[in-house]
């Protein structure tokens, strides 16, 4: 995996700043939210941590890990952690909650310096599988509500405050899926690309207000294994024996099969045409994403596994957050960098292969800046040069 825990990443490197900053995290109970909040609080900054109350009340691993973090905050009372952490109700799909969360942050700590958008989910399925029923079509809408419209809501809600204070930094946690299309993850990739296009565009709009925008592209494991996964029922036409595309469902099933929590919770499917077949261990797993119904779960990673997976990403976030001149896009990990380079190389090669076709449609410009568009009329009197006519002639 791209994000292994290295010793050089154990100590966060925060940029120099004159006073403690206020961070607003959109998914404070996520593994990345908890790990980052721990680093930020230890550094002396303030954290406003958004959670969905209904998720907090559930009796599951994700909720228990956040409750454990809150207990840790209580034990660090002497370090001021409790006074510098505020929990707010925040479902970024709801504009009202976004506006309320920002208002609570400003009321409590006076400002929001860094907005970290880290709310995400992954919908797994081919284009036909996601069109097969009203339920699966709803999954597509849910994907965009969470991964695109949600971040847009919280960014829109935060901007007035940052614009008034004439400084701010918005960090969006994306993935290399913003560069690379992945078979079986079409809607997840589409929402990621939409969000990155939105962020690239508004970066120019907000720059005059001294508000920075950074997209952090983490490895695909960060976006998938640390958030909710929902899989549509498989379609026979996309079974491995009928379609040799490297669908992400089989790859992900292979990863999930290796988790002890998955093996303990789900019964293995002995006869399943969608089972990963690369080795006996994967063959013996439950392959839960290949069942004939919609399946939704948080992968049961241990806290140690999550923190190791997140090491490079959190190190990058602490180094970039609030930086005077942050990157507009940061790719995390060796594998991510290599993958994006390979994609850009392919695009460049294809561009060169068809460059003559691209240039063939260019319209020459005369010395006056007018297009020299020539059309031969039916009387064979020679070409008509539209560039030689004035505006009145062209519109007559």
| Tokens of residue 372, six digits | 């020299």
Instruction: Tell me the average pLDDT across 80-107.
Output: 97
Using the predicted structure, report yes or no on whether residue 272 has a pLDDT greater than 50. no
CB 229 within 8 A of CB 252: yes
Q: What is the pLDDT of residue 375?
A: 58
Distance between CA atoms of residues 391 and 272, nearest Å: 69
130 CB neighbour count, 10 Å cutoff: 21
- Tokens 């597509």 found at: 140
Higher pLDDT, 135 or 239: 135
Q: What is the pLDDT of residue 342?
A: 87
Distance between CA atoms of residues 371 and 246, nearest Å: 47
With vertex at residue 49, the alpha carbon angle to CA 48 and CA 54, rounded to the nearest 5 degrees, is: 140
Residue 343, Cβ density class (10 Å: 0-12 exposed, 13-18 middle, ≥19 buried): middle
For the chain, what is the mean pLDDT?
Answer: 85
Q: What is the pLDDT of residue 378?
A: 55
Classify 171 as helix, strand or coil: strand
Share of the chain above pLDDT 90, in %: 53
Strands 114-117, 168-175: parallel, antiparallel or unpaired by DSSP? Answer: parallel
Per-residue pLDDT band for 338 (boundaries 50, 70, 90) equals confident
Using the predicted structure, report yes or no on whether residue 5 has a pLDDT greater than 50. no
Q: What is the pLDDT of residue 274?
A: 46
**Helices (runs of H) and strands (runs of E) counted in the chain:** 15, 12
Out of 115-119, 174-178, 283-287, 315-319, give the one with best mean pLDDT: 115-119
What is the separation of C-alpha 30 from the centre of its chain, rounded to a whole number of angstroms? 14
Q: What is the pLDDT of residue 131?
A: 95
DSSP classification of residue 311? H
Domain 22-233+294-336 part of CATH 3.90.420.10: no
Q: What is the pLDDT of residue 302?
A: 82
Strands 374-376, 383-385: parallel, antiparallel or unpaired by DSSP? Answer: antiparallel
Instruction: Tell me the average pLDDT across 271-279.
Output: 47
Confidence (pTM): 0.83
Domain spans in the chain, listed from the N-terminal domain onward: 22-233+294-336
Q: What is the pLDDT of residues 172-203, one digit of tens each?
A: 999 888 778 889 999 999 999 999 999 999 99
| 356 HSE (CA, 13 A, CB side) | 1
- C-alpha dihedral sign at 226, 232, 238, 239: positive
- C-alpha dihedral sign at 188, 192, 116, 319: positive
| Tokens of residue 256, six digits | 């999930």
N-terminal to C-terminal alpha carbon distance within the chain: 65
Q: What is the pLDDT of residue 239?
A: 86
Q: What is the pLDDT of residues 230-271, one digit of tens each?
A: 999 999 998 888 888 888 998 898 888 888 878 777 765 544
């Amino acid at each position: 995996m791209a994000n292994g825990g290295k010793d050089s990443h154990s100590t966060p490197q925060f940029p120099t700043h004159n006073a403690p900053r206020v961070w607003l995290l959109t998914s404070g109970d996520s593994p990345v939210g908890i790990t980052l909040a721990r680093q930020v609080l230890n550094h002396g900054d303030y954290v406003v941590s958004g959670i969905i109350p209904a998720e907090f009340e559930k009796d599951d691993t994700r909720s228990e890990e956040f409750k454990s973090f809150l207990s840790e905050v209580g034990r660090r009372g002497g370090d001021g952690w409790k006074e510098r952490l505020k929990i707010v109700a925040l479902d970024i799909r709801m504009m009202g909650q976004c506006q309320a969360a920002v208002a609570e942050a400003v009321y409590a700590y006076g400002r929001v310096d860094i907005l970290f958008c880290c709310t995400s989910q992954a919908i797994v399925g081919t284009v036909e599988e996601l069109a097969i029923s009203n339920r699966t079509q709803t999954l597509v809408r849910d994907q965009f509500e969470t991964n695109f419209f949600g971040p847009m809501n919280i960014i829109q809600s935060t901007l007035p405050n940052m614009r008034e204070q004439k400084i701010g930094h918005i960090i969006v946690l994306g993935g290399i899926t913003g560069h690379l299309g992945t078979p079986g993850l079409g809607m997840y990739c589409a929402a990621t690309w939409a969000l990155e296009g939105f962020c690239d565009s508004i970066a120019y709009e907000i720059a005059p207000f001294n508000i920075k925008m950074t997209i952090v592209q983490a490895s695909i494991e960060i976006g998938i294994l640390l958030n909710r996964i929902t899989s549509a029922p498989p379609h026979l036409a996309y079974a491995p024996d009928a379609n040799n595309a490297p669908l992400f469902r089989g790859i992900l099933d292979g990863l999930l099969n290796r988790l002890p929590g998955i093996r303990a919770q789900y019964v293995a499917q002995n006869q399943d045409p969608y089972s990963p077949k690369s080795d006996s261990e994967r063959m013996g797993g439950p392959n839960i994403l290949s069942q004939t119904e919609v399946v939704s779960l948080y992968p049961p990673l241990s806290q140690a596994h999550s923190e190791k997976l997140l090491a490079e990403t959190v190190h990058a976030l602490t180094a970039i957050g609030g930086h005077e001149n942050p990157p507009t896009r940061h790719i995390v990990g060796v594998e991510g960098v290599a993958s994006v380079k390979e994609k850009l190389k392919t695009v460049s090669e294809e561009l060169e292969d068809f460059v003559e076709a691209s240039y063939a449609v260019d319209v020459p410009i005369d010395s006056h800046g007018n297009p020299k568009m020539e059309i031969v009329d039916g009387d064979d009197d020679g070409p008509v040069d539209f560039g030689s006519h004035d505006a009145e002639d062209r519109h007559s």
